[in-house]
Each structure stands twice: as C-alpha cells, then as structure tokens.
Chain A
Amino acid sequence: MHKNSMFARATPYLFGALFIIGLIAPFAVYPTFLMKILCFGLFACAFNLLLGFAGLLSFGHAAFLGTAGYVCGMLVRDVGVTPEVGIIGGTVAAGLLGWVFGVLAIRRTGIYFAMITLALSQMVYFLVLQIKATGGEDGLQGVPRGNLFGIIDLSNNLSMYYLVFAVFCIGFFIIYRTINSPFGEILKAIRENEPRAISLGYDVAKFKLLAFIISASLAGMAGATKTLVFQLASLTDVHWHMSGEVVLMTLLGGLGTVLGPLIGAATVVSLQTQLADSVGSWVTVIMGVIFVLCVLLFRRGIVGELQALIRRAGIR
C-alpha cells in the first residue's frame, strides 16, 4: 500500500470519532436534514467507488437512485412489506439495472461511457414518467415509513434517523472493504493503466462490470432509504440533473478519497438548503460556478486539499 502511513494510523480514530458524532448529531441538528445528508452521502460514496477508484464516469447514476426509490416505495406502499424488505428490494432492483447498464456501457470507455450512461438513464426517466404505477409527474406519494422488522415505529424521526445511519454505515463499510480489497487494487490498476491490467491477464471487462453493479446497488440502497425518509419518490430522483449533482458532490468533496463524497454531499445539501431561501433561482448558477471552480482550481476537492495540506505540514 502506497498510502501515507500517518493517514493509515489516524483512520480508525477518525472513523470512530465520526461514528460517535453520527450517533449524537440528531440531538443537535434537525434530523430530517441529517438524513438527507446521509442518503446523498451514501449515494456519492457509491458513485465515487466507480469514478474515484475505477476511473469510470457514469452520468446516469440518477437512474439507480430513482429506480430503487420507486421500487422500494411501491413495495412498501402497495405490497405492504416492511421497510427493511423495501430497502433490500430497491437495492436489488438497482443492482439488476446496473448490470444491464454496465453490460452496455463498458463496451466503450471514457467520454463515450459517460454519454452512454447518460442516454440510458434518460430512457429510464421517460419510462418512469410514462408508466402508470409510478404516478408520472406527481411522483409516488404517501409511502408509509412503517415499522422496522414489524416492531419499531419509524414515523418517529429519531428511530428513522438511526435506521438511515445504520444503512449508511453498512453501505460505507462495503465500499471501504471493496476499496481496500485485492479487487479494489485491481480496479485502481485498471484506472491507472488499462492495457497493462489486460496484459497481466485480468478480465478487465468483468472487473469493471462488477464495480458498476456494486456502485449501482449501493446508489440504489441510498435511493430506497431516501424514499422512506421523505415518504415519496419523484421524477427529480431519476432526472439527469441528479446525475450531475452527484458528480458535483464527489468532485467537491474529493475524488477518490474515502470521506470526500460524504463531505461533498453535506456541503452541497447545506448550500442548496441555505441558498434556496436567499437567492432562489440563482442556485443553479452557483452550483455551476462551484463545478467550474472545482475543475479548474480544486481538482482534489475539499478532503483531497486537506490531505495535501496535512501531508505538506508533516513533511516540514
């Protein structure tokens, strides 16, 4: 591992501290807001797995977030399953969709890959819009939060928060394990030099596909949970703007860093909440400006820049 040993040593403490913050946060901050951050944080982490560690830019991740949200919503509302089954159902659905997208998209690389995923997700958008069961423009409304395992009432914001927190931790753990496994190392090798990975005898397509499916499933897990929190799934979740937003979160937080996407998601969600009241329609413009600044000046993102800062301080 070429990782800076100082980071490696500090990591368990950092995660421990964050975990505790996560546990007590709802007593200090509005829980619904925190849940939103965690859902988008998981979404961005899942996306980062693909872009940050496998070098694949998907511009269609909204399709997974949204599809899982709709599937979970329909399962819970119309079939009447318990919330955890809804989340699993949504995750599986997103994984299957990810498999279909993946098979098609990994046939091309780079910019084509991005355009193909974008086009495919646009197709999903139109399907969701036209199918009757999804409620079209009105979205899937009135999804009950239900009782977890049939026992714990989730209409209580605190119980709901701890479920979301648990889901986030599970998702985050899976991503962390993936990155630091031999599989993750191969992904990084493919990102750095695909021809070399091929010549070393790796079935690159298979690895990419697997990464894509994992990323899609976890994005779906975030989407399914989000549906339970807000009790609705809407077209916003499948629109390509959402795909762009997750790119922004990841980029802003720090591409290829473990915690960056969460920080990025927290920043973007807070900004949107704050700005929506004060500047109204300028939100899009400000998001665009941040995008441009990130690409031009802060390509390492918040966490990446911080790490670089610490590293420099450490050398001195």
Chain B
Amino acid sequence: MEIFGVSSALLGSQLLIGLINGSFYAILSLGLAIIFGLLNIINFAHGAQYMMGAFVAWIALTKFGINYWVSLLLAPIVIGALGVVIERTMLRKLYKLDHLYGLLLTFGLALIFEGVFRDQYGISGQSYEVPELLQGGVNLGFMFVPIYRAWIVVAALTVCFGTWFMIEKTKLGSYLRAGTENPQMVQALGINVPLLITFTYGYGVALAAFAGVLAAPVYQVNPLMGSNLIIVVFAVVVIGGMGSIMGSIVTGLGLGLIEGLTRVFYPEGSAVVVFIIMVIVLLVRPAGLFGKS
C-alpha cells in the first residue's frame, strides 16, 4: 500500500522513529516545565545537563567499569546533586530579580559546562556501547526495530508518567502544585518552600541527565549533543505552553511524530518544521496548546 508515493511500511517505521525522538523531547520539555512551574526560570543549561548525564555514564563505564543500569540511576543523582548545588549557591540569589536573570545565569553555566567537557574530551565524541541485554533487534515485518530504541520509548514514557503521577496524585505533588500557585500561602502552612524549590530544580535536572544516559548508546557522547537539541525543545515548550505536565509530555511526543513524517515527505524541511509549527501556534493560540494565558 502506498500513501502519496510512500510505502506504508516506510511510513510506519518513520512514525515509530518519530515516537523515539518524541520521547526525548517529552522528557526534556517535562523537566523544563517542572522547573519553570516553581522557579519561574527557563533552565538554559538543560541541554548541557543532558550532555553531562551522558558523559557521567561514559566516564563511569570506561574509568570505573560501572555498567549502564547503574549509570541510569547514578547519572541523574550526580547531575541532580550538581543541580542542587547550583540552585543553592546561585539561582537562589536571583529569585527576587527579573526572571530573565535566571535564563542568563543558566546560559553562562551552559557555556562553562560545554567548554570544560570540550576541553577534556575533544569534540568528535565518544562511543558508548548498547548494554548487552538490549542488543539486537526485532523484525516487525515492516521494519527492524532495535531493542534499545524500543527501550528508550518505554523508559522515557515510564519516567514521564511516573512524574505526572507524583505531581498530580501524591501529597508531595500537591505541595508542589500549591507552591506554584501561591508560595507565600504554602510557606505559611509550614511547608519548607525553599527546600521544595531546591528539590524541584534537582529533579528537573536529574530528568535531563536521565535522558542523557538514554541517549548515550544511540548518539555519540559529545560535548555539544545538548546545545542543538535544547533549542528545539524550547520551541516544543513554546508550542505546548508550560501550563501542564501532561501537556508538555503530549506535545513532545506529538512533535516527534510530526518531525518523523516531515523526514519522509520533505526531508529538507525536517530541521525547521518544529519552528514553523511554533510560528503557526503563536499566530493562532499565543498561549500555547496547553497553556493558560
């Protein structure tokens, strides 16, 4: 069967791949949205933190022989802890100021992180092997799916929905939501808001690092792997609006799929399709698809 001259098998496989990329968008934009919700800053260092997550996994494997599965937990903890330090020592000083300063600070941090890793590990990137358990692939008839790619979707979605559940359905999440709405009130109720903020930033950063570990075996582990990705994720965030957790997950996945389709029908446009959608959304619904204006 063919659709617009493209076989349905090819179409199906491209959609599947779009879903994989969408998983990365979803997990990164989710992290940005959580941080934005409580801290009101855009974490420009998100891409660098994603990159560092991948590097932690690579260093752990090559220097200490620590395997992928441990890294999947270790890297978010290490980078999350770094996030906590950043929040405590730097971001904290900026909350009373214009929120743009948070953006500028994290931009500076992103430059520092990228520069240091570039100096230490060069630019051409390091290889990270797919863990043994997830090697090989399954033939679905219309395409060959590497098991590892399938695992990315499963792992990313699990983490995304786990986060959603934590925020929407647990007590901690209710504090978080309340803190987003009205921090003074929550503080008055005896909840330690500064701690909540620190935790939130750390968690958002840890999500980026988690995505980095997921990405390590499929892309080269490379100091600049985050910086181009993050701009696309910014566009995703603008499209979705940062109002809702579920919104950012759905938008991330959806745009991955759309990008996948563009690669079949008009590959030259695949680099800009997300930005074009952003323009259209801004014209039609400036607050974003899920945003509150």
Contact = CB atoms under 8 A, between A and B. Distances in A.
Interface string A30-61: 00000000000000000000000001010000
Q: Which applies to chain B's interface (DSSP): helix, strand, loop or mixed?
A: helix
Given A104-B283, A114-B100, A295-B101, A281 B278 contact: no
B119 interface: yes
B235 interface: yes
Size class of the contact patch on chain B: 35 or more
A120 interface: yes
A291 B41 CA distance: 17
A22 interface: no
Given A244-B111, A295-B94, A251 B104 contact: yes
Nearest to B86: A292
Interface stretch (B57-65, B158-166, B180-188, B269-277): B269-277
Given A123-B276, A288-B112, A116 B105 contact: no
B271 A289 contact: no
A288 B238 CA distance: 26
B268 interface: yes
Given A104-B283, A284-B115, A296-B93, A119 B278 contact: yes
B279 A120 contact: yes
B259 to A, nearest CB: 13
B238 A119 contact: yes
A296 B105 contact: yes
Nearest to B111: A288
B116 A115 contact: no
Contact of B110 (A57, A118, A288): A288
A189 B240 CA distance: 31
Nearest to A251: B104
Interface string B79-120: 000000000001001100111110111011111111110110
Contact of A292 (B109, B234, B278, B287): B109
Contacts of B93: 296
A290 B114 CA distance: 15
Contacts of B173: none
A247 B97 CA distance: 17
Interface in B271-293: 271-272, 274-276, 278-279, 282-283, 286-287
A111 B283 contact: no
Interface string B188-222: 00000000000000000000000000000000000
Interface string A222-241: 00000000000000000010
B42 interface: yes
Given A107-B286, A108-B282, A119-B238, A295 B272 contact: no
Interface residues of A, number: 38
Nearest to B112: A288
Contacts of B268: 130
Interface string A278-316: 000111110111111011100100000000000000000
Contacts of B42: 111, 114-115
Interface in A244-291: 244, 247, 251, 281-285, 287-291
A211 B109 CA distance: 30
B275 A57 contact: no
A283 B111 CA distance: 10
Contact of A281 (B100, B118, B283): B118
A251 B101 CA distance: 10
A233 to B, nearest CB: 20
Interface of A: 55, 57, 104, 107-108, 110-112, 114-116, 118-120, 122-123, 126-127, 130, 240, 244, 247, 251, 281-285, 287-292, 294-296, 299
Interface of B: 36, 40-42, 90, 93-94, 97-101, 103-105, 107-116, 118-119, 231, 234-235, 237-238, 268, 271-272, 274-276, 278-279, 282-283, 286-287
10 closest A-B pairs by beta carbon, nearest first, are A291-B108, A288-B111, A285-B115, A284-B115, A288-B112, A107-B286, A123-B275, A292-B108, A119-B235, A115-B234
